[in-house]
Structure 1
Amino acid sequence: MLRPRIIPCLLVHKGGLVKTQRFKDPKYVGDPINAVRIFNEKEADELMVLDIDASLNGVEPDFSLIAKLAAECRMPLCYGGGVTTAAQASRIIDMGVEKVAVSHSAISNPALLTEMAAAVGRQSVVVVIDVKKKSGFFTKGYEVCTLNGSRVHKIDPILFAKQCQDAGAGEIVINSIDRDGMMEGYDVEFAKQVKSALRIPVTFMGGAGALDHVGQLISAVGVVGAAAGSLFVFKGKYRAVLINYPTPEQKVSLCRESIEKL
């Protein structure tokens, strides 16, 4: 039976684990391999690792780091950053990673998703869509950004998500730039719109600052992935670095309502 997933998302910058706010000012919070070991002990549902340098700098994935992550990780692992070809995706899957995420490449090369699905299976193809609200008093809605928010594409995120689904994506991750690192809660209303438009699994990221926020998302949207960074690497109002994750009992409590709706 499908159930909600609670997913720590780790951002890798210059080889270290960082956390951003609205995609800016990366703060070093530790070693990614050590974080993986802690999440192993805490029995996380899944883990997402995104290299935020690779695509921006036009370099290929850090296969050495991926090999270390895959060897250490004891839960399903999704890796993204610098993937531009199906051959790279296949190499990453062969290392023991379950899912490969792309973002900018899904726009710059629309055929890539179909090629990746043929090479590794669509269940392993993830598209991360970074979204932000359009600026301007008379402008409403959301737009898609890539390359750490530095490039804006005049594309409707929901339409783009549906195009990715049709092209071969097996999962969509919606990441809110406006809420990244703010710890004030998910954009639940937009999440409901996205979920109702797609037939493949969807994960939402950006804004979680308390377990209640995860519960609110799951209660409102149903069986989705609830991903977070700050929630799982910071503790308290002073944002002290502490790797944490809900206990099994807390997970059951958070997910119970959506499971009962099935």
Structure 2
Amino acid sequence: MLTKRIVPCLDVNMGKVVKGINFVNLKDVGDPVDIAQYYNKQGADEIVFLDITATYEKRKTLIDVVERTGEKVFIPLTVGGGISGIDDFKIILRAGADKISVNSAAIRNPNLIYEAADKFGSQCVVVAIDAKKRAEDQGWDVFIEGGRKNTGIDAIEWVKKVESLGAGEILLTSMDADGTKNGYDIELTKAVAESVNIPVIASGGCGSLEDFYDVFEDTGADAALAASLFHYGELEIKDVKEYLHKRDIPVRL
């Protein structure tokens, strides 16, 4: 059985790690390289590094931060933010990333997923999806530009499409749950995981050890991502893994 992954996320804004609630009210948490190194030692399975305002501010990902992080971290590093074309994939992979996460660019040019998978392999292509439940409670819409713009695209239809185009993984963030610490969005995560055959990383809303267990037990998620819980020292990655191991969830100890 494949082990479930615990993935800390570093949301980076102007070279600093930040955290907010429902995608707003960002607070500075510290230096990304130091934080990534710490999580590496703690036993994180991977690290996700998102330059969260790059696309909105129409600039590229902070390459120097990626390079410095890549030099110090010996687990897979996924980098996203400000990706607009195939050249950005090449530059960021060369800087030390193992995978590239695309969100807005994939919506604007779905063929980018196919091109990137064809050139670098599906394992390098992570499609990040920020989804929010519709007011009438019928499914979820996909948002882009750091949660600022509703595309009107149905999340379930979109995940099926990105898989067909060659994406190797989906990073699924529930905008409704993000930063609330009320638990992962089980309904959304389950619906997405049941719609595709590629790994799904659940993101948004984790607030306790039980939340990690619930998302693995109640959905088909392959990995659980968390940020503020780890950034503020409320939980240690090793404690999460020991807890899950005791509850028969397969993890790499």
Partner of 1:253: 246
Please list every run of 5 or more consecutive structure 2 residues that lacks an aligned counterpart in the other structure.
none
Q: Paired residue for 1:188, among 182, 186, 189? A: 186
Q: Which amino acid aligns with 2:166?
A: G
Partner of 2:83: 83
Distance 1:192 1:119, change over 3 A: same
> How far does residue 77 in structure 1 lie from its aligned partner after superposition?
0.7
Residue aligning to 1:216? 214
Contact 2:189 2:221 in 1 (8 A): no
Matched, 1:244 2:251: no
User: Offset of 1:88 from its aligned partner?
Assistant: 1.5
Question: How big is the shift at 1:193?
Answer: 1.2
Q: In the alignment, is residue 71 of structure 1 matched against residue 71 of structure 2? A: yes
Per-residue CA deviations over 1:212-253 (Å, capped at 9, x if unaligned) read: 1001111112451111112211245xxxxxx83233523423
* Contact 1:183/1:210 (<8 A) preserved: yes
In the TM superposition, residue 29 of structure 1 has moved relative to its aligned partner by 1.0
Q: Please show how residues 53-64 of structure 1 align to structure 2 within 5 Å.
A: 53-64=53-64
* More moved, 92-101 vs 126-135: 92-101
Aligned-residue offset at 1:49: 0.6
CA drift at 1:35: 0.3
Q: For residue 238 of structure 2, what is the amino acid of its counterpart?
A: P
Cα distance between partner residues in 2 of 1:214 and 1:23: 21
Cα separation, 1, equivalents of 2:150 and 2:216: 29
Q: What is the one-letter code of the residue matched to 1:210? A: S
8 Å CA contact 2:174, 2:188 repeated in 1:
no
| 1:6 aligned residue | 6
Contact 1:144 1:152 in 2 (8 A): yes
**Do residues 203 (structure 1) and 195 (structure 2) align?**
no
Inter-CA distance 22–246: structure 2 relative to 1 (3 Å threshold):
same
Q: Report the counterpart of residue 20 of structure 2 in structure 1.
A: 20
Amino acid at match of 1:253: K
Distance in 2 between the 1:213 and 1:115 partners? 36
Question: 8 Å contact 2:4–2:249 — kept in the other structure?
Answer: no
2:159 aligned with 1:166, yes or no? no
Q: Distance in 2 between matches of 1:223 and 1:25?
A: 28
- % of aligned pairs identical? 34
Match of 1:239?
Answer: none
Map 1:82-161 to 2 at 5 A: 82-135=82-135, 138-161=136-159
8 Å contact kept, 1:173–1:205: yes
**Deviations 1:106-156 (Å, cap 9, x if unpaired)?**
011111001111221111100100011113xx4532111011111101111
Q: Matches of 1:79 and 1:257 in 2, distance apart? A: 27
Q: CA deviation at 1:41?
A: 1.3
Q: Which amino acid aligns with 2:101?
A: A
Q: Secondary structure at the match of 1:155?
A: strand
Q: CA deviation at 1:96?
A: 2.7
* 8 A Cα contact 2:80 2:100, kept in partner: yes
> In the aligned structure 1, how far is the partner of 2:250 from the partner of 2:221?
6
Residue 197 of structure 1 aligns to a residue whose secondary structure is coil
Structure-2-length-normalised TM-score: 0.93
Contact 1:3/1:223 (8 A) holds in 2: no
- What letter matches 2:181 in structure 1? M
Give the counterpart letter for 2:60 in structure 1: E
Local SS of the residue matching 1:107: helix
**Structure 2 residue identity aligned to 1:194:** V
Partner SS for 1:149? coil
In angstroms, what is the RMSD of aligned CA positions?
1.7
For residue 158 of structure 1, what is the amino acid of its counterpart?
I
TM-score normalised according to structure 1 size: 0.90
**Could you tell me whether the CA contact under 8 Å between 2:180 and 2:205 is conserved in 1?**
yes
CA contact (8 A) 2:193 2:221 kept: no
Which residue identity does 1:74 align to in structure 2?
F
3-state DSSP class of the match of 2:26? strand
SS at match of 1:231: helix
